[in-house]
Every structure is written in C-alpha cells, then in structure tokens.
Structure 1
Amino acid sequence: MTRGDVWMLEVRVAPNQAERVAAALFSAAAGGLEERDGALVAYAESRRALAPLVAAVQQCGLEPELSRLSASEWQTPWTEYLEPVRVAEGFVLAPTGHDASPTEGARVLWFEPDLVFGVGSHATTRLAATAVERYVRAHPGTAVLDVGTGTGVLAMIAAACGARRCLGIDVDRRAVDNARANARLNGLACRFSARPLAAVKQRHDLVVANVEAPALFDLTPDLVRVTGDTLLVTGVLEERRSELAALLSDLSICGESTSDGWVLLEARRTRAGPTAKMD
C-alpha cells in the first residue's frame, strides 16, 4: 500500500454531471475514484500528477479543490468505503481486511488497496475481466499477457481460469510489486515484470490491455505485434471506438461490448504465429 503524503482532488458535481466528469477523470488516468454525496474525489502521489485530472475537470466547466493529506489522514477515509466488487461472472474482487463472504458461483480475489491503481470498480475493469474469463475458460492452457497490469486482477483471473502462463507487465515498478503481492495473497501462479510493451518479443495467445487513451493508441501497434490469437482492448469511450478500430486493421474485429459509455473491442489474428514460451 502507498506510504507518505498524497494529494487529493475533490470536485462538486450535480447528479446530471457525475457520469461525464467521472469519465473525464478516468480518461485522464485517474486510478481510484471515490464517490461522495455530491462530489467526486481522486488521489495522486504529487501535485504534478494531479495536473491532467485538474485539466479534465476544468474542461467540464468545473473547478476542483486540491488538498494535501498525510498518510494517517487519507488511508483510513479512503479504505473504509471500499466494498467487494463483482468484476466478472465468476469473480469478486475484495480488499484485504474486508469480511467478504463467498458469493454463489464466484471466487473471491483479495487485493491490497492502492489509490494509484484503482479498486476494480471501473466499467473498463469489468469489461476486460468478463472477456478474459470467457476466453480462458474456452481456451484452457493458453498463454496470457496483461498490459498495464496495475493490481494484477486480469492476470489473476486468467490464472484462476486455467491459463498455462500469465505475464503481467507495467512500466510502474510499484504496480508490479503490488500485483505480485496480490497474486501471492491468492495463491496464483502469475508472473509480473516492470518493463515496457516494446520489450516483449514473443506472441501470446491472449493479450489484454485496459489502458486509458491516448496511451492505448500509442501502444496499439505493439499490442497487435504480440497477439498470437486474440486481443482485448479497452480504456476508451464509445465515441472514440472508430479511432481504436482503425488501429486494429491488421486483425479482424470479432466482438465488442460496452458499459457506462466505455467500449471493449475483441480482435483476432486470422493466422496465429508461435506463442510465448518464456521471455
């Protein structure tokens, strides 16, 4: 879990503004987003890291309030509101310390909450988790690459569904440490590495990326390159679907799903190359 001071952004929103402002914050790379009565709250490790979030709020015609919190001030208020989230048909994501009871037909995956990497409640997490579960259950023994792994939840779901090999990568070393801890907590054999996607050389049967635009657009050529069979991409609003689809022209789009204004595209390679062994 994060240690030390953090910065908090709070913006007052009317009921008819909340969804649009939340979408703008997530698009600007907000990790965890807290909803309070009449307000949205986001956190970052520095004031500089809040800059894109401030700009996103201002583009919605609102002005946020910024404040600096000590570790003791933010840790308890932030975590006390966390509840288990059903992220896919067979999985519930629950923060450690919560008395989560198993849900019928679903396995509980525990995680150490970290405000930077989110808590699994965003629509894109649910879209990606559902698609990963469906694919791996239909293709047991597959090799999976999770790009921008964050808490590691997508890699963990793949491992729990019977994937042969799960690799999660992130350019943030702390994200990798957090994901490793979460996998150990759940007794799942996932591998995590702090490296850029460009450093991955071999193809994987399934590649999944839940990454905000515009970073997702920049990553798309390499995402296509490392896809052996199927690519799942999400992190953009429905209004930008055509932009994302155009970048997947080397693959065949075979499915899509939407939730709360966000879209996930599923694309397939018609002739798959060799998949990963170890890199």
Structure 2
Amino acid sequence: MSEEVTHRKKWIELSFRIDPVAREALSAFLFDLGSTGIVSEDFGDPALRAYFPSDCDPEAVASRTQVFLEELGRVFTEMERPVWAWQRMEDEDWSLAWRRFFHPTRITPNLLILPAWETPAAEETGHIIRIDPGLAFGTGQHPTTQMCLKALERASSTREAWSMLDLGTGSGLLAIYGVLLGAEPVLALDVDEDALAWAARNLELNFVQQQVTLSKTPVEDCRENFDVVAANLIFGEIMRLLPHLPRLLAPEGLLILSGLLDSQLNEVARASTVHGLAVQDTLLQDEWGCLLCSPVEKG
C-alpha cells in the first residue's frame, strides 16, 4: 500500500496568500479545475497550496485562476488582493516536500501528534498519535482539527461505551483518537481514495486498524447511528450533509461540526435547529469555530 501511494511524480504547485474568508470558495474552484491535492494547514505558513499533475496545461490553469480571483474580489470586497504564483516541482513528491513544516504538536495535556518519521521523548506521557498525512488533510496543526480533538476528549469523559462516525476522515487522525479514547466501533468515511489509503497507513502506524472501518459509502447511504459524529469539513459540505446527520446520531449523541469560519457559525447553527439539533456549545480558535450539537428531545 505504501509503495502504491508514495511513488514519485512531477507536480505544478499554485500557492496563494488569500483572506481566510475566501479560502473555501478558492479550494472548491481548484478541485473543480483538476487539483489532486490542496494543503491549507498553516505549518507556520499561511499560504494555501494546490497541486496539479504536470501533464495539465499550466497556462490554461493560470488564466482561469486569474479570472476566478477577480470574481472573488467582487464578492469579497473587503479582502486584500490575493497574491499567487505557480511553479513546477520537478521529480519531487509534494506530499514529502512539505514534511519539513510538520513538527510534533501538543494538542492537550493528554495528546501529542507526532510525525511518523520522528521519535517521541522518553518522558512523554499520555496519548501519542503518529501521523503520515501524505495527500490527506489532517496533521493536527490546524485549529479546526485541534477543536475536534478537544471535543472528542470532552465526549469521551461522559461516556463509558460509545461509537463514532468520522466524516471526511482524511489522514484518519480523528478516528484514531476516537479509538484511543475508547470508541468502538468507529466508521471513517471519505470520498477520496488517496485519503483512504493514507488513513489506512496511519491506522496501522497506531495499531488501530482492527477497530476502524474505512469506507467510501456516501453519508446519504449510511444507515447506522452513532454516539459521536465528527464532521471536519468545509461550510458547503456541512450545509449539504446537515439534513442527513440527525438520523445518524443516537438519542443522546454528540455532533461535532468543524471546518467553519467564525463568521459562518450562526448560519450553520440556524440550519442545525431546522433539522432538529440543538447547539450545546461553541469552540473558537483564531478565526475558526466548532459547533457541538445534540438531537432535540422529542415529546
């Protein structure tokens, strides 16, 4: 599996410095344009980077991107003009190139995220999760992921036995921490085959492959329900999936909605109410927010 997903390729990298409010729209556009991967976690670097196969037409990509950025400027009138550039990455696997930005990250006193190629300190206590994110989102360095991890800790503190659904699992980080906190069974879904391959690798790195089921099953076709559902997605995906999420929750379940700018929280909260959910708490970090919701009691 490792050899299948880590073979060396040539890539074209587009890097952007753009206001966070427009990142979601830009990411969706770049995927539609043919990007095979987007790195939007900071690693101390605020740039958004998109990667295209070297056999694409770079001039066409650049031209369409410039037009789209001009349209974004008319929609988000208060943001500064985006700065962007593109370059060829000859004979380099981009998923390995940015490893130099990924360092051990302390999320909570009980959790350390460790790059798979590093060794923890001998005195380290608590949970250690080893991650090799590859092409997938999820290193624990982005605020949206950190808030999900903290929410999982909170959920586990009030539950002796609980099941978990991880929507858009990416690197598998949330599913892994769910298992370490006592969740069983855990179902991790993602529509991206590369992400599922890297998630499988990370499950093995943390010896939890037997406790987590990876699947491409669409949320709409999922018929089970879970004590905890984590959805660290972008705003548009959360809004699209929200009508389906209440039926996936156990009666006293917890829904973790992250990947949201704080300016988007009110709209998601209102939509959650429409679909029979109540917001129990809100987590905030930098310009990002996370909603913790539960089903409204009927009767």
For normalisation by structure 2, the TM-score amounts to 0.77
The letter for the 2-side match of 1:5 is K
Checking the alignment, whether the CA contact within 8 Å between 1:89 and 1:130 is kept in structure 2 is no
Does residue 1:121 correspond to 2:147, yes or no?
Answer: no
Checking the alignment, whether the CA contact within 8 Å between 1:143 and 1:205 is kept in structure 2 is yes
Identity %: 23
Determine helix, strand or coil for the equivalent of 2:194: helix
What are structure 1's unaligned runs of at least 5 residues? 14-19, 273-279
Cα distance 1:53–1:35, how it changes in 2: closer, same or farther (>3 A)?
Answer: farther
The letter for the 1-side match of 2:269 is A
CA distance in 2, matches of 1:27, 1:92: 32
Cα distance 1:178–1:67, how it changes in 2: closer, same or farther (>3 A)?
Answer: same
Checking the alignment, whether the CA contact within 8 Å between 1:148 and 1:171 is kept in structure 2 is yes
CA distance in 2, matches of 1:10, 1:178: 23
Determine helix, strand or coil for the equivalent of 1:214: helix
What is the CA distance between 1:70 and its match in structure 2?
A: 3.2
What is the CA distance between 1:104 and its match in structure 2?
A: 4.4
Checking the alignment, whether the CA contact within 8 Å between 1:257 and 1:265 is kept in structure 2 is yes
Determine helix, strand or coil for the equivalent of 2:119: coil
Checking the alignment, whether the CA contact within 8 Å between 1:7 and 1:68 is kept in structure 2 is yes
Count of aligned positions: 263
Does residue 1:95 correspond to 2:112, yes or no?
Answer: no
The residue aligned with 1:277 is: none
- Taking only aligned residues, the RMSD between alpha carbons, in angstroms, comes to 2.9
Does residue 1:44 correspond to 2:66, yes or no?
Answer: no
After TM superposition, the structure 1 stretch with the greater mean CA deviation from structure 2, 153-162 or 191-200, is: 191-200
Q: What pairs up with 1:146-165 in 2 under 5 angstroms?
A: 146-165=166-185
What is the CA distance between 1:136 and its match in structure 2?
A: 1.8
CA deviation profile, 1:10-37 (whole Å, cap 9, x unmatched): 34x6xxxxxx635643664443445677
Checking the alignment, whether the CA contact within 8 Å between 1:137 and 1:162 is kept in structure 2 is no
Cα distance 1:34–1:45, how it changes in 2: closer, same or farther (>3 A)?
Answer: farther
The residue aligned with 2:97 is: 77
Does residue 1:21 correspond to 2:24, yes or no?
Answer: no
Cα distance 1:195–1:240, how it changes in 2: closer, same or farther (>3 A)?
Answer: same
The residue aligned with 1:220 is: 242
The letter for the 2-side match of 1:225 is R
Q: Which has the larger radius of gyration?
A: 2
Does residue 1:183 correspond to 2:203, yes or no?
Answer: yes
Determine helix, strand or coil for the equivalent of 1:242: helix
What are structure 2's unaligned runs of at least 5 residues? 28-37, 74-79
Checking the alignment, whether the CA contact within 8 Å between 2:164 and 2:185 is kept in structure 1 is yes
Checking the alignment, whether the CA contact within 8 Å between 2:168 and 2:191 is kept in structure 1 is yes
CA distance in 2, matches of 1:99, 1:26: 35
For normalisation by structure 1, the TM-score amounts to 0.82
Cα distance 1:102–1:22, how it changes in 2: closer, same or farther (>3 A)?
Answer: farther
CA distance in 2, matches of 1:7, 1:162: 42
The letter for the 1-side match of 2:195 is A
The letter for the 2-side match of 1:109 is I
Q: What pairs up with 1:236-251 in 2 under 5 angstroms?
A: 236-249=260-273, 250-251=276-277
The letter for the 1-side match of 2:198 is N
The letter for the 2-side match of 1:226 is L
The residue aligned with 2:14 is: 9
After TM superposition, the structure 1 stretch with the greater mean CA deviation from structure 2, 167-176 or 103-112, is: 103-112
CA distance in 2, matches of 1:27, 1:133: 31
The residue aligned with 1:258 is: 284
Cα distance 1:269–1:89, how it changes in 2: closer, same or farther (>3 A)?
Answer: farther
